[in-house]
Structure 1
Amino acid sequence: MEYAMTALQYLALLFVFVVGLGVMAVCAMFYLDTRQTGDAIRRNYPVIGRFRGLFTELGEFFRQYFFAMDREEMPFNRAQRNWVYRAAETKSNTVAFGSTRNLSLPGTPIFMNAVFPPLDDQFASTEPMIIGPHCREPYAATSIFNISGMSYGALSKPAIRALSRGAGLAGIWLNTGEGGLAPDHLEGNCDIVYQIGTAKFGVRDEAGNLSDEKLRHMAAKPNVKMFEIKLSQGAKPGKGGILPAAKIDEEVASIRGVPMGKDAISPNRHREVDDWDDLLDLIGHIREVTGKPVGIKTCIGSADPWFDFFKRIKERGAECAPDFIAVDGGEGGTGAAPMPLIDLVGMPLRDALIRMVDLRDLAGMHDRVRIIAAGKMVAPGDVAWAICMGADFVVSGRGFMFSLGCIQALKCNKNTCPTGITTHIPSLQKGLVVEEKDKRVAAYAKAVINEVETIAHSVGVAEPRQMRRRHVRVVVNDGSSVQMNDIHPSVHLGLDGLERARGHKQFEDAMRRLQIEGETL
């Protein structure tokens, strides 16, 4: 009994101490709040006013789990994320009781199922597509769906390792992003697209200029299949890349060729490229030095300047053209960018892709220049739509981040990613187990490709690249739908939209501006 009383007395003293400490903390906050001048709410409502900041900070997480409907969130809603999670875990993605998607919203694509679709034994496999036929080492790309550019530095070491291994398992390519080639990119023995950003990270000399010696060194690696010159990206067109100093350790600094302790900033464009001729010269130079396909990545602000681009290619000859063009929509993602650029600058992919495809086809380069689509492409419907519009390949960044376990915490720019994907803090990175996540990456890629094939078979073709604009409708303002090739007639020779395109104002205007005779199509 005496021991019990002593324990109770101890607990009572502890309670009094904790309460006293709490009262002192409240008094201290009251004193500080009433004397600070930066926050009017805290000055007028000391202590209680602090809850406003707390709730604002936590609000996005409460909305995600408790209040937002499945298709309400931005930039990706719960339905999209959950589809990726289930696909990555090889779980069934069948649903019950009908679609939860609002099919009357303008812009919604609706695929047109065939009356007599091909039977199971009438399917065809997607053949490898040759990129860079004029190169010493053309690339036979086997997959329609691949991993978009995400830099080592922006992403953690275990994230890059898992992506590389997963890409190798799935047989898809991995784009390095503008941060250079790390040993981790090569771990999975996957095909690599080396991205050359405006700062030339990884292939620059001490002055920051392009180094032919380092280009040859990268091209000598058998896994490096192509080089991509990054002109701009959808999330921040007109502004270069930003890697915060907190994410730059010794290895990242060595790979990129930058000092530690300072943000790694890329210029907003390549300093040596002032016009289309300069760009074509750069493409040709890199292709000659490396012997491998060279393309460009860009976000389109207007189609007008690109008329001159293709016109200049026709004047110089098809050999000078880029081997591919990656079109990034203004809705593209990034780890760090100013909000006005993310929200307001750059043409959305649904506009940009069609314009670039039509310009390429009008210039008679359908089989010369491959088109890659990027920008919030995470689900099979997105990929199928892009292929219908004329894309040869689709790449995704954030879809593969979700496959790694991303929860859309929106902390990519703060080095505090709770899932270990975009942080260099070891204690957070340990949550990302490479030996498990690589399988999720591969499973997600295979699930997307499989579902795109399902859509292709449903519309009546044997494999995805046979899909055309005539196979998809789009919802317009009154809630009805219109066939895409009635809105945007295809101008590629052999497609059924060609005759309708003749006389179509968009087609005729483009023909005049490109100065192409009809028979060259």
Structure 2
Amino acid sequence: MDPLIDIIRRTPDILATSFILVVGLGALAVVVLFVIDLSQTGNAIRHNFPVLGRFRTLFTKLGEFFRQYFFALDREELPFNRAEREWVYRSAQGGNNTVAFGSTQPLQQSGTLLFVNAPFPVQEAGARPAAPLLIGADCPQPYAAPSLLNISGMSYGAISAPAVRALSRGAALAGCWLNTGEGGLSPHHLEGGCDLVFQIGTAKYGVREADGSLSEARLREIAAHEQVRMFEIKLSQGAKPGKGGILPAAKVTPEIARIRGIAAGTDSISPNRHPEAGNTAELLDYIARVRTLTGKPTGIKCVIGDPAWVDELCREIRARGPAAAPDFITVDGAEGGSGAAPLALIDAMGLPIRCALPAVIDALDHAGLRERVRVIASGKLITPVEMAWAFCAGADFVASARGFMFALGCIQALRCNRNTCPTGITTHSERLQRGLNPQEKAVRVANYVAEMRAGLAMIAHSCGAAHPRALERRHCLLVGGTPTPVSLATSAGTPR
């Protein structure tokens, strides 16, 4: 008999045997899992409901993804909803960003931003963009910053090498600056040729001595790079005020360890503050030290807790003279942050940007320092609406991190701290990085900046302002009034 015909005739028997084998193995696996779950006491659900209890963990994990795609409404998700993400995606792809049939934003909901349109808007055809704004006019090497929107700090380590390269090239195409984040200066930052802001974190990564103190020699080396235009001393960041940066050991590769000046394969945990700055006076001394060593504009980044501290800072500056002031202050809202953070801090520490930014502007105005100190707004400002609010509040610049992560293709998988980012942005897995092409993503970064600028200008012109920096607080309405929190010291009735 022909062997092929014999195999065909025996196929039903083979399939039946295979099916029985698979079912038998499955049943055996269930029995094994049943015994394991019943005999263990570490997990009460699995002990009381053997095998079935395992599905709870599975469904909990899958729920994060199903909510995003099937159940959450367009304006419902946090930290960023679908409407915001899709707007960034379309902008980065250069697609059509118009919508139809009315807004899905609940316009009467408390906290909604509304802008006051002018009866006679500025004609866009004859409008001129805002001129570059000088930062650190008294420094040997001041910086005429050309862009209203810039890329906020994301360390090499927290994000991957292809992501840094894409941001560097995209920033150069868009003509904006890129903040290095606290992880030091890498070749990937320099690759695109963009302007850079070097961030000095509490661990001094990239400019540290072996004991963790500031290396003046290394700081001068960094300042010698023409692309490095400013230095930012990070006091705190939105995700975790009062705690330093956290980079899990799995993300501390040999290259990242070398750039940071630490051991590879160990958790990279920054101190919760700079030892050099234990009070306001020491902070100003520290700023002056960095500015003198580098010759370039030097400022601070901080989350505001008690606005009274900004008044204290202004009093100390006035006592010393305006030259002692930081050249800029980056105000990070408590809703900021793209990396690993303890839940207690990410949920409940610091003031949101809508409370903090106006407080800083008002303090500088009251002290007569507003023209001396530039203010950069940061924290969940990823669309022209939030960006326009920041300029109405008085900001000179806006810096965004997560907006640019979306431009690179971030899907808000919430895996930034686990080295398993499916889009290759926050992972050092070479397999996962293969889908992130720096050349292609750089164009998306530039497209996003262009669309943000266009949307911002459109809002400004609709309000009757010649350019975004001409926006004033009267141009913006906040439904439900000002959301300023009230201290428990007075809200309960008796001050304590």
TM-score normalized by the length of structure 2: 0.95
What is the CA deviation profile of residues 189-246 of structure 1, one whole-angstrom value per residue up to 9, with x for unaligned ones?
Answer: 0000000000000011122110111111001100000000000001100001111110
The structural deviation recorded for 1:431 is 1.2
1:64-121 Cα offsets, whole Å, 9 max, x none, are 0001100100100000000000000000110000000011111211000000111234
In structure 2, give the amino acid aligned to 1:474: L
Residue 198 of structure 1: aligned partner: 202
Shift in Å, 1:389: 0.1
Matched, 1:85 2:89: yes
Match of 1:186 in 2: 190
Q: Which of 297, 312, 315 is matched with 2:316 structurally?
A: 312
Report the counterpart of residue 515 of structure 1 in structure 2: none
Residue aligning to 1:18: 22
Cα separation, 2, equivalents of 1:408 and 1:245: 22
| Cα distance in structure 2, aligned partners of 1:122 and 1:440 | 28
Separation (CA, whole Å) in 1 of partners of 2:158 and 2:21: 46
User: In structure 2, what is the equivalent of residue 143 of structure 1?
Assistant: 147
Q: In the alignment, which of 323, 331, 343 is matched to residue 327 of structure 1? A: 331
Equivalent residue for 1:475, pick from 476, 479, 482: 479
The whole-number CA distance in structure 1 between the counterparts of 2:163 and 2:271 is: 26
Distance 1:216 1:397 in 2: 27
Match of 1:347 among 330, 351, 359: 351
The reply to whether residue 420 of structure 1 matches residue 424 of structure 2 is yes
- For the 8 Å contact 1:240–1:269, the answer to whether it is kept is yes
> Within 2, Cα distance between the matches of 1:463 and 1:120?
10
Which structure 2 residues correspond to residues 359-438 of structure 1 after superposition, within 5 A?
Answer: 359-438=363-442
- Indicate the SS of the match to 1:378: coil
1:208-227 to 2 correspondence within 5 Å? 208-227=212-231
**Residue 283 of structure 1 pairs with residue 298 of structure 2:** no
Tell me which residue corresponds to 1:174: 178
Distance 1:65 1:121, change over 3 A: closer
- Distance in 2 between residues matched to 1:88 and 1:121, nearest whole Å: 24
Matches within 5 A, 1:208-287: 208-287=212-291
- The Cα of 1:62 is off from its aligned counterpart by 0.4
Instruction: Verify the 8 A CA contact 2:408 2:445 in the aligned structure 1.
Output: yes
Q: Does 1:120 align with 2:124?
A: yes
Query: Is contact 1:420–1:428 with CA below 8 Å preserved after alignment?
Result: yes
Note if contact 2:170-2:444 (Cα within 8 Å) is conserved in structure 1. yes
Deviation (angstroms), 1:443: 0.4
2:135 paired with 1:131: yes
Distance 2:153 2:124 in 1: 35
Structure 1 SS opposite 2:230: strand
The aligned residue for residue 490 of structure 2 is none
Question: Deviation of residue 434 (structure 1)?
Answer: 1.1
Is residue 156–residue 421 contact of structure 1 (8 Å, CA) maintained in 2? yes
Alpha-carbon deviation of 1:8? 2.6
Give the Cα–Cα distance (whole angstroms) in 1 for the partners of residues 76 and 122 of structure 2.
36
Tell me the CA shift for residue 7 of structure 1.
2.5
Contact map agreement 1:191 1:224 (CA 8 A) in 2: yes
**Following the alignment from structure 2 to structure 1, what is the Cα–Cα distance between the partners of residues 202 and 303?**
14
Q: Equivalents in 1 of 2:83, 2:136: separation in Å?
A: 38
Q: 1:47 aligns with which of 46, 51, 58?
A: 51
* Equivalent position SS for 2:107: coil
Distance, in Å, in 2 between the alignment partners of 1:430 and 1:295 is 37
Q: CA deviation at 1:27?
A: 0.3
Which of 440, 449, 454 aligns to 2:444? It is 440
For residue 450 of structure 1, the aligned residue among 454, 459, 462 is 454
Report SS of the residue matched to 1:80.
helix
Q: 2:251, 2:265 within 8 Å by CA — same for their partners in 1?
A: no
Check whether the contact 1:30–1:46 (CA below 8 A) recurs between aligned residues: yes
Residue type of the alignment partner of 2:46: R
TM-superposed CA distance for 1:52, in Å, is 1.1
Q: Partners in 2 of 1:313 and 1:454 — Cα distance?
A: 38
C-alpha contact (below 8 Å) 1:174/1:190 kept by paired residues? yes
Amino acid at match of 1:35: S
Q: In structure 2, how many angstroms separate the alpha carbons of the residues matched to 1:120 and 1:158?
A: 37
* Change over 3 Å in CA distance of 1:73–1:251 after alignment to 2: same
SS at match of 1:313: helix
Shift of 1:12: 2.1
Q: Quick check: 1:122–1:462 contact (8 Å CA) kept in 2?
A: no
Q: Is the Cα contact below 8 Å between 1:198 and 1:266 reproduced in 2?
A: yes
> Deviations along 1:356-395, whole A, 9 cap, x unmatched?
0101111111211000001111011010000000000001
Q: Is residue 170–residue 445 contact of structure 2 (8 Å, CA) maintained in 1?
A: yes
Distance in 2 between residues matched to 1:41 and 1:450, nearest whole Å: 54
Secondary structure in 2 matching 1:110: strand
- Report the Cα offset of residue 145 of structure 1: 0.4
CA distance in 1, matches of 2:123, 2:206: 49
Out of 144, 155, 160, which is 2:159 matched to? 155
Deviation at 1:272, TM superposition (A): 1.5
TM-score, normalised by the number of residues in structure 1 = 0.91
Q: Whole-Å Cα distance in 2 between the matches of residues 25 and 436 of structure 1?
A: 46
Distance 1:187 1:169 in 2: 12
Superimposed CA distance per residue, residues 326-368 of structure 1 (whole angstroms, 9 cap, x where no aligned partner): 0000111231110010001110000000000101111111211
SS of alignment partner, residue 202 of structure 2: coil
Aligned-pair CA distance for 1:4? 1.0
* Pairwise CA distance, 1:470: 0.8
1:293 to 297, 305, 313: 297
Residue 69, structure 1, aligned to residue 62, structure 2: no
39-48 or 254-263, which deviates more: 39-48
Q: Which residue, out of 14, 17, 31, partners 2:35?
A: 31
Query: 2:326 is matched by which residue type in structure 1?
Result: P
Amino acid of the structure 2 residue aligned with 1:357:
I
Residue type at the aligned position of 1:260: A
Asked if 1:207 corresponds to 2:217, the answer is: no
